Amino acid sequence: MLARLWHIFWGGPKGGNLSARDAHARQRGGVLLIDVRSPAEWQAGHAEDALHIPLGDLTRNLDLLPKDGEIIAMCQSGLRSGIAAMILRSRGFERVFNLNGGFMAWYGEGLPIETDGRSRLRRVRGGSMASR
């Protein structure tokens, strides 16, 4: 049981924390980056090609996520995305990473960002918009 809790909270061998640069490299290689920030935070600017699912809507939208692929969770600073990663691991998603430092780290590294005007939006369960 202790090993299971360790895996859920800290990622075990198939998850954990990533730097912004490592997350970007994995994203360019096809890994899904999800942004769990609020719609207002998302609209102000977000990582290019990220999928927006606010944290409060995450459990209602698990079917949008690849159960067998890698997922990187991102928020503003890394706290909410850490919670999102724990939720996903507890729901059977094996390869989930948290972007350490969140959008602030991404932006600070000068990695590609876009504003909501360039996003493709789709409605997700819960009333919010999932964007990609």
Cα–Cα dist 79/9, whole Å: 12
* Both tokens assigned to 32: 């899904």
- Whether 120 and 132 have beta carbons less than 8 Å apart is answered as yes
Within 13 Å and on the Cβ side, how many CA atoms surround 91?
17
Q: Tally helices (H) and strands (E) across the chain.
A: 5, 9
Q: Which of the residues 53, 58, 73, 75 is marked catalytic?
A: 75
Active site residue 48: no
Dihedral sign for Cα atoms in the order 55, 31, 89, 18: negative
Q: Which residues are catalytic?
A: 75
